């Protein structure tokens, strides 16, 4: 199993958990009781992670799996933005919750990067555009 596929399964599991128990992460913070709007938000995040995860898994299981890298890169962009937005939320939600959310997103950023760079990534040799060496510079 490639690193991209492993990250896809992990992301899909997190997404399914957020769909099934959206109040749990909010209870962990201990700040306030979940509102209907916050439960809806957690479920939409769960849907996003479930779709990104299953898309990555499906692509990783395809012949050659070049699309798994694209799905993982899309997840990396989402996680990177989640990290930045979480840190920007310090004034509105407080440092503890904002940093906690940022660290969780950052853990996924690290996993995504490792999946894209590491030996557990998809077989890049089957992708003729990926030689493992820098390409020519300029036109």
Q: What is the pLDDT of residues 26-61, one digit of tens each?
A: 777 666 788 899 899 999 999 999 999 999 999 999
Q: Are 69 and 116 in contact (CB under 8 A)?
A: yes
Distance CA 88, CA 69 (A): 28
Please list, residue by residue across 83-100, b when 16 or more beta carbons sit within 10 angstroms of its beta carbon and e when fewer do. Answer: beebbebeeeeeeebbbb
Quote the pTM value: 0.79
Domain ranges (residues) in the chain? 3-121
* Three-class DSSP category at 17: helix
Q: Are 134 and 17 in contact (CB under 8 A)?
A: no
Q: Which residues, 6 or more positions from 59, have their beta carbon under 8 angstroms from its beta carbon?
A: 4, 8, 65, 67, 68, 70, 71
Give the range among 28-32, 62-66, 87-91, 114-118 with minimum mean pLDDT.
Answer: 28-32
- pLDDT, position 119: 57
pLDDT tops 80 at residue 137:
no
Provide, rounded to the nearest whole percent, the portion of the chain with pLDDT above 70: 82
CA Rg, the chain, in Å? 17
Between 35 and 139, the more confident residue is 35
Query: Angle, to 10 degrees, between the axis of helix 66-88 and the axis of helix 36-60?
Result: 160
- pLDDT, position 97: 86
- pLDDT, position 95: 92
Backbone angles phi, psi at 22, to 5 degrees: -70, -20
- pLDDT, position 111: 96
């Amino acid at each position: 199993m490639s690193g991209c596929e492993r990250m896809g399964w992990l992301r899909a599991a997190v997404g399914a958990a957020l769909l099934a128990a959206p109040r749990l992460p909010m209870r962990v913070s201990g700040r306030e009781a979940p509102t209907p709007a916050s439960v809806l938000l957690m479920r939409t995040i769960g849907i996003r992670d479930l779709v990104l995860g299953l898309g990555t898994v499906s692509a990783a299981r395809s012949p050659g799996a070049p699309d798994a890298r694209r799905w993982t890169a899309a997840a990396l962009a989402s996680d990177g933005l989640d990290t930045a937005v979480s840190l920007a939320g310090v004034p509105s939600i407080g440092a503890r919750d904002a940093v906690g959310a940022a660290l969780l997103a950052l853990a996924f950023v690290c996993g995504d990067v490792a999946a894209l760079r590491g030996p557990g990534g998809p077989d890049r040799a089957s992708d003729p555009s990926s030689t493992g060496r820098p390409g020519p510079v300029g036109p």
